[in-house]
Amino acid sequence: MVGARIEAVRGDLTRQRVDAIVNAANSSLLGGGGVDGAIHAAAGPELLAQCRELRRTTLPDGLPVGDAVATGAGRLAARWVIHTVGPNAHRGERDPALLASCFTRSLEVAAQVGATSVAFPAVSAGVYGWDVADVARIAVAATRGLAPTGSVELIRFVLFSDAALEAFEQALRE
């Protein structure tokens, strides 16, 4: 990961022209609200079918918090969707290491599939109740702190609001 460019932009994650986008999924992998719902809607039924197959085969109990898994991307411009389950602050899941793991595991999975560019949302900053400034600080530190893991050259944080963008830009300056 040494030399990977890290940037933050305001925009629509589902429209990013990158190799992989990261889905802030729930553990069921079967769709939901927020980023998860938007990605499933934009990707079409192929994504849900692949997620159902993962549940039927390798992840019968769902994807654990802090872990990540890749599927194809259906109708999205990206080639892969990397699903990660962020910690839910409303359920008492407030361990920064669990949140950091969402970013590091997603990048490990991206490298495994050969992705050179990855776009992330602010995992856990929406309905999961984490403060976006904390998410930004943890996400940037986690992605900067990785040893070289393969092919990833660009890490892009795609944010849903000006406030979120400002939080990530601040974290990138630190």
Locate all alpha helices (DSSP H) within the chain, ordered by sequence: 34-43, 45-56, 96-113, 132-144, 162-173
Assigned token pair, 32: 């939901």
Percent above pLDDT 70 for the chain: 95
Q: Is the pLDDT of residue 3 over 70?
A: no
pLDDT reported for residue 1: 40
pLDDT reported for residue 142: 94
pLDDT reported for residue 145: 72
Active-site choice (12, 36, 61, 95): 36
Lowest mean pLDDT among 30-34, 47-51, 110-114: 30-34
Calpha distance 45→18 (Å, rounded): 21
Is residue 67 annotated as a catalytic residue, yes or no? no
CA pseudo-torsion sign 2, 162, 119, 23: positive
CA pseudo-torsion sign 65, 70, 71, 75: positive
> Is the CATH number of domain 5-173 3.40.220.10?
yes
Please list the residues that pair with 82 across neighbouring strands.
22, 70
**Domain boundaries of the chain, sorted by first residue:** 5-173
Strand-strand pairing, 80-85 and 20-25: parallel
pTM to 2 decimal places: 0.95
DSSP 14: G
Question: Is 76 strand, coil or helix?
Answer: coil
Overall residue count recorded for the chain in this entry: 174
